[in-house]
């Protein structure tokens, strides 16, 4: 259940970043926080896929 919630959060964040890119916008504060606090999750999901 925990891994599912983490995966959902990660997917939601990636959709958010994609949406910003399509609009030509950036959210540096959120992006910095996300990539600073989520490296283990990012690596785990990347390896699983």
3-35 tens-digit pLDDT: 677 778 888 999 999 999 999 999 999 988 888
Question: Is the confidence at residue 41, as pLDDT, over 80?
Answer: no
Question: 34 or 49: which carries more pLDDT confidence?
Answer: 34
**In the numeric block, which tokens belong to residue 45?**
């999901």
The rounded distance, in Å, linking the Cα atoms of 1 and 19 is 27
pLDDT at 34 (0 to 100): 85
29 is in which domain, residue-wise?
2-48
pTM, entire model: 0.66
- Number of domains the chain contains: 1
**In the numeric block, which tokens belong to residue 29?**
């504060």
The answer to whether 20 and 27 are in contact (CB under 8 A) is yes
């Amino acid at each position: 259940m925990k891994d599912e919630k983490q995966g959902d959060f990660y997917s939601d964040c990636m959709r958010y970043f994609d949406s910003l890119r399509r609009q030509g916008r950036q959210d540096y504060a959120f992006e910095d926080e996300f990539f600073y606090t989520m490296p283990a999750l990012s690596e785990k999901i990347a390896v699983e896929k």
